[in-house]
Amino acid sequence: MKNSVRKLVSLSLAACTALTMSVTAFADEPYESYNYDNWDEAIPSQSGYTVQKTVNGTDMGLDRLSDPADELYFSENASVSLNEAKDVFVYNDSEIWVADTGNNRILRLDTDYNITGRYYYVTGESESGAAKSPDGTGTAFNSPQGLYVTKSPSTGLETIYIADYENSRVVRASVSGPTELTLEKEFLRPEESLYNSTTYNPTKVIADGAENVYVIVKSVNTGSVQFSPDGEFMGYYGANRVEVTAKVIAQRFWRKIASNEQIRGMQRNVPIEYVNFDIDNEGFIYTVTEAPVNTDAVKKINAAGYNIWNNALGDDYVFGDHTEAVWDMATNKTYATRLTDIAVNEQGIINVLDFETGRVFQYDKLCNLICIFGTKTSNADQKGAFTSPNAVETIGDTVIVLEGSKSRNDLTVFERTVFGEDLHKAFSYFDEGLYVEAVPYWNEVIKRDGGYTYAHVGLGKADLKNHEYKSAMKRFKIANDKKDYDKAFEYYREEWLQSHFTGIAVVIVILFLLWIVKSVMRRRGRRFRDLFGGNRKNKREEGSDGLNV
């Protein structure tokens, strides 16, 4: 009897343990959330985002494409999964467009990630030499790598731009139905001699408010190719600069003294082209460069092609991990930041995707790091882990990452945690300068992560605004924010001097009087000490102190 009770107890205990363990394992991300402090060191943090779900082709309902009764029917053997999908774009927070590169098709999903459109062809006469569709009215896509959807300001139609990689063309088409795109314009290889690349393989495309088209072309490093709405080549836009390294300087020196033959054999220092871009609703274009460079890694370019985030002008913008290239002993590989995509949402929150680590770095519009999420694993068999994260997009506050490798193709949907919501609210006030309004949210943030640097900065700035300089100084000290500490200290000192003015004045007056008394006494040939009855001998009369022989 006793024995069986004991057995029961131990069994139930074991069950309890097992249950709690499995619950913990379920809730965790396959990575440790971290953030950077003001010493540029990675510190543990809370997750601002967590995986809501992953959506693969079957979840999207891609089997409808092979169902003859369905309006989206394409063929009996239409693939039910994505294949090396390269780009995703969210139109108007209501439609998700996926460039299913390996299957040569474009897919349209609604916000529940169910398919509402599939596009293999674009209807209309083409000069590009792309394969004709079976009915002869249109041309097929061949490896479409990038897309951009917008409501055309001139026609008012929903217009899609597709970077049709293998067909060497960029297509502008209006969306006529769930399976039909009507060709409006093709942007083919520019004939001008200024375009001197032998190939023309567009990878990404965007269009600005005036319907100018910007195309990133593979192995063109002079910026994106810019077309006017009617297809005229307008030049290059927003080229990167060469990063000045010791090697570049050394080569510049050798080039001065080398012969022409030697120079021809030398490596050329050319800028690394940016691989992806996004445009915000104010018309600024954001670019990312997929190489571990500090110069122009992420740029915010205005209409004139001028980079606003320019570290050469004294700013200190850092994107991606703050570390230099890291050698990983386990995989025997060197990891260096490779930012592959950027997405800016309505509020100006910037998501940057690092291909190398599978991490999404989220910044507010002033480039303050909000949070980091996602990771990379060798087989990407966990939610929130990737092998080749190709694109990042946002629907409102939700972040989607497109995984497009040979083995796995899906969308990972990250939703905000409570911590992330507090962060966004706090940062939105913080960026507006409404420091006091941000306080409750910063307090929530601090409850969950006491080491969150910006929370202390934000609270300190609120204190500063409330004239509580002492506690502001304390906050800035925790955040290691010397500049703001200095400001708080300046006000604190001023306040202190004002409130202690009488005492300070009295001390100064007393010292002044003493000095006058002393100088009067000296003039009369008496020492100050004599006043107090002291009659120490003059030092000069002390005589020798030992060695004075």
Partner 1 sequence: MDSMYNFSTLGWVAHVCFHPTEGFEDLRWKKKGSVKLSLFIVLLLFIAMVANNRMRGFQFNTYYVKVFNVVPVIVQSVVYFAAWVIGNWCVCTLLDGEGTLKRICIFSAYALVPYILCTYAAVFLSNFLILDEAIWPDFFMYLGLGWSVVLMISAMKAAHQYSMAKTIGSILLTLVAMLLILFLAILLLSLFQQVYVFVYTLYTEIMYRVRG
Residue 346 has, within 13 A of its CA and on its CB side, a CA count of 8
Measured from the CB atom, is 204 or 487 closer to partner 1?
Answer: 487
Alpha-carbon distance 266 to 254, whole Å?
10
Separation CA 448–CA 422 (nearest Å): 10
What are the CA-CA distances from residue 205 to residues 38, 169, 197, 342, 470 (Å)?
36, 11, 18, 13, 52
Q: How far is the CB of 314 from partner 1 (least distance, A)?
A: 16
Whichever of 286 and 492 has its CB closer to partner 1, that residue is: 492
| Nearest distance, CB of residue 482 and partner 1, angstroms | 5
Closest distance to partner 1 from the beta carbon of 484 (Å): 9
Q: State the amino acid at position 413 in one-letter form.
A: V
- What are the strands of the beta sheet with 350-354, ordered from one edge? 339-344, 350-354, 359-363, 369-373
We find the least distance from the C-beta atom of residue 337 to partner 1, in angstroms, to be: 24
Return residues touching partner 1 (CB under 8 A).
39, 473, 477, 480, 482-483, 485-486, 489-490, 493, 539-540, 542-545, 547-549
Which residue's CB is nearer to partner 1, number 77 or number 544? Answer: 544
Least CB distance to partner 1 at residue 327 (A)? 24
Nearer to partner 1, 327 or 496 (CB): 496
DSSP state of 337: -
Contact 50, 374 (CB under 8 A): no
CB-CB contact of 388 with 30 (8 Å): no
The kind and range of the H/E element at 523 are: helix 501-523
| Nearer of residues 19 and 497 to partner 1, judged by Cβ | 497
Q: Which tokens belong to 61?
A: 């309902």
Based on CB atoms, which residue is closest to partner 1, 502 or 544? Answer: 544
Tell the smallest beta-carbon distance from residue 537 to partner 1 (Å): 13
- Least Å distance, CB 203 to partner 1, is 43
Distances in whole angstroms, Cα of residue 278 to Cα of each of 106, 140, 322, 344, 393: 19, 26, 23, 7, 10
What is the signed CA dihedral for 6, 7, 8, 11, rounded to 10 degrees?
120
Q: Judged by CB, which is closer to partner 1: 40, or 125?
A: 40
For residue 131, the tally of other CB atoms under 10 A from its CB is 16
Separation of alpha carbons 141 and 123, rounded Å:
11
Residue 248 Cβ vs partner 1, minimum distance, rounded to whole Å: 29
Structure tokens at 414: 């990250």
Helix axes 469-479, 482-499, angle to 10 degrees: 160
Of 195 and 489, which has the nearer Cβ to partner 1? 489
Q: State which residue, 231 or 451, has the beta carbon closest to partner 1.
A: 451
Cβ of residue 473: shortest distance to partner 1, in angstroms? Answer: 8
Side chain identity at 130, as an amino acid letter? A
Round to whole Å and give the CA distance between 401 and 390. 7
Within its chain, how far is the Cα of 35 from the centroid? 13
**Cα–Cα distance between 389 and 405 in angstroms, integer?**
8
Nearer to partner 1 (CB atom), residue 41 or residue 315: 41
Q: Shortest gap between Cβ of 39 and partner 1 (angstroms)?
A: 7
